[in-house]
Amino acid sequence: MARRGQAGGAARHRIRLFDDPALRVPSEPVVTFDRSVRELVKSLHQVMRAGPGRAGLAAPQLGVPLRVIAFDVDGRSGHLVNPRLEPSGRRVAADEACLSAPGLWFPVERSFAVVARGRDMYGRPQTVRAIGMLARVLQHEVDHLDGVLFTDHLAPQDRERFFAAFAELSGSGAAEPGAATPER
């Protein structure tokens, strides 16, 4: 079993679905930059790139409650450990989706620009300045680290439509994330 702040069993490749209560739990910071963190980053990139249209992934989506994200947007690929965001500029609404709720797109308002500061997998300081889609992806993935889902940003009518569509697609009947679902 991994100690607090260590990646441990990072090779897990099943993406947690939206109704998994684990996605609502804030992640722990990484405190030890060892091989398990590098394996987690590798796993995040492998799973993220396994299909089309996948721009980012957060460790909690693989069941690892650590503050690690990976991204690949418009030729900018990377990862951040223990990221912190400094949003700036105007807020822009655009359709957004999530690998934990495949195929469902809804408008979310986010900052057009961000500066993301964190560490790489070796513990070295990293800064990512982003605008547009990359800024959106970074905000979405860092939300996952905080136990926040993109539906938390939806207008009430879009939120209702999302949960109805998710329940239909998943066959769970779950009305909200964390609701009881059948065994998978």
**d(Cα 48, Cα 108) in Å, to the nearest integer?**
21
User: What is the reported pLDDT for 184?
Assistant: 27
Is residue 56, in this structure, part of any structural domain at all?
A: yes
User: What is the reported pLDDT for 40?
Assistant: 98
Q: How deeply is 30 buried, as exposed, middle or buried, from its count of CB atoms within 10 A (0-12, 13-18, 19+)?
A: buried
Q: Which domain holds residue 104?
A: 21-170
User: What is the reported pLDDT for 14?
Assistant: 86
Is residue 9, in this structure, part of any structural domain at all?
A: no
The count of structural domains within the chain is 1
Is residue 1, in this structure, part of any structural domain at all?
A: no
* 98 marked as binding residue: yes
List of the chain residues with pLDDT < 70: 1-12, 51-53, 172-184
With beta carbons less than 8 A apart as the criterion, state whether 139 and 156 touch.
Answer: no
Active site residue 141: yes
Residue among 33, 32, 41 at smallest CA distance from 122: 33
Is residue 5, in this structure, part of any structural domain at all?
A: no
* 140 marked as binding residue: yes
Is residue 115, in this structure, part of any structural domain at all?
A: yes
User: What is the reported pLDDT for 50?
Assistant: 87
Is residue 48, in this structure, part of any structural domain at all?
A: yes
User: Within a 13 Å sphere around the CA of 131, how many CA atoms are in the beta-carbon half?
Assistant: 2
Report the CATH number at residue 91.
3.90.45.10
User: What is the reported pLDDT for 100?
Assistant: 92
With beta carbons less than 8 A apart as the criterion, state whether 62 and 10 touch.
Answer: yes
Ramachandran assignment for 70, one of left (phi > 0), alpha (psi -120 to 50 degrees), beta (any other) = beta
User: What is the reported pLDDT for 25?
Assistant: 97
172, amino acid identity: S
Catalytic choice (141, 168, 176, 183): 141
User: What is the reported pLDDT for 89?
Assistant: 86
Is residue 163, in this structure, part of any structural domain at all?
A: yes
Is residue 88, in this structure, part of any structural domain at all?
A: yes
